Amino acid sequence: MRVVVTGGAGFIGSAVCRYLVNDVGAIVLNIDKLTYAANPNSLEPVINSPGYHFERADICDQDSIYASFAEFRPDAVIHLAAETHVDRSITGPDAFIQTNIVGTHALLKVALTYWLSNKGAIPNFRFLHVSTDEVYGSLGPTGLFRESTQYDPSSPYSASKASADHLVMAWHRTYGLPALISNCSNNYGPYQFPEKLIPLTILNALMSKRLPVYGDGQNVRDWLYVEDHARALYLILTQGRPGQKYNVGADNEKTNLGIVEAICDVMDECCPTNAPHNRLITFVTDRPGHDRRYAIDARKLKTELGWQAQEDFSSGVRKTVRWYLKNRAWWEPLWNNVYSGERLGIPQSGASSHELSR
């Protein structure tokens, strides 16, 4: 199987590339622009494999992407290239509109042209668009997001992903492109850029810096270990039905405060000289438009395709903490040169940019 993975040097994308090459035996072409959150070092386990290929390119460049498709001749596409950080979308939405909407449109045009030109040679071509549960908006204290849940995005990030979802489904219904959409809950695990909650908390705790918690810390998310997500995406790609959506979640609902406290508990075990780490927890001004609760109903994925998460949150967070403690060579260059824990996404009237570091 020959698979194009867009955004394959990112957090989820690199996990997908590693899984496809090492576990499935697929031949992968990773197309990535290499923005700030991409890290080629995340692909070290496959970098020398004959099944892994890389091309630095922007998905908005249709001519370049089509040339890559024509040369590589993929059987499938997993589209992960995206701007993903909500805080960054608040102060810099332009990049999210360009990559997530314009880029997806460009990629759909390329994929459709390629598919129509090769229908006979590639009868089972698939285009999987990887999206987020944030397109559904915010839940109350009860209920779950289902594939039929009405879209109600709150942030520039989630609005751009919702727009991309609509484009993908329109290309299926209008042109017949064999496309599918997955909507996943919050991912965590090794190789995640440190601006996200879990790696930021681990690294701040390691350095005895304050651990920021937005608002009252009671915002709820469903947490999915990234390698479980990679397995789900392969099942959706190969066994899912074109024109369908599949929600991916692990039934691990946790408050943000509960996440930080769980990491503190593991850090107390791994780094007891700095315990208790929960003394570092600091409540800070909430994020604008912060959705209160997300929760995924993944029954369709489980019943139709037989997927089950292999990691619960307790096992997954322990693996994640230990990975960061053992892999300073991966995250230290990022921390020293790209991002070192400063708060992002603060409107001009909001909290001080130094609020998290003082």
Q: Is 87 a catalytic residue?
A: no
Would you say residue 22 lies in a domain?
yes
Structural domain total, the chain = 1
Whole-number pLDDT of residue 347: 62
Listed residue (210, 205, 221) closest to 284, CA to CA: 210
Whole-number pLDDT of residue 289: 85
Q: Length of the chain, please?
A: 358
Whole-number pLDDT of residue 354: 35
Whole-number pLDDT of residue 219: 95
Domain that holds residue 189: 2-193+223-253+292-313
Query: One of 58, 75, 83, 133 is an active-site residue; which one?
Result: 133
Would you say residue 274 lies in a domain?
no
Bridge partner residues of 173 (DSSP): none
Instruction: Give residues with Cβ within 8 angstroms of 116, minimum separation 6.
Output: none
Would you say residue 10 lies in a domain?
yes
Signed CA dihedral, 94, 97, 99, 103: sign only: negative
Q: Is 63 a catalytic residue?
A: no
Would you say residue 268 lies in a domain?
no
Would you say residue 46 lies in a domain?
yes
State the CATH number of the domain containing residue 61: 3.40.50.720
Query: One of 83, 134, 291, 297 is an active-site residue; which one?
Result: 134
User: Got the DSSP string for 30-91?
Assistant: EEE---TT--GGGGTTTTT-TTEEEEE--TT-HHHHHHHHHHH--SEEEE------HHHHHH
Whole-number pLDDT of residue 121: 87
Q: How far apart are CA 315 and CA 176, in angstroms?
A: 42
Q: What residues in the chain have per-residue pLDDT under 70? A: 347-358
Do the Cβ atoms of 144 and 298 come closer than 8 Å?
A: no
- The residue behind tokens 């090459």 is 21
- DSSP secondary structure letter of residue 140: -
Q: Is 136 a catalytic residue?
A: no
Listed residue (125, 216, 217, 139) closest to 176, CA to CA: 125
Whole-number pLDDT of residue 355: 39
Would you say residue 168 lies in a domain?
yes
Would you say residue 185 lies in a domain?
yes
Whole-number pLDDT of residue 345: 77
Would you say residue 324 lies in a domain?
no
Query: One of 19, 52, 136, 157 is an active-site residue; which one?
Result: 157
Whole-number pLDDT of residue 358: 31
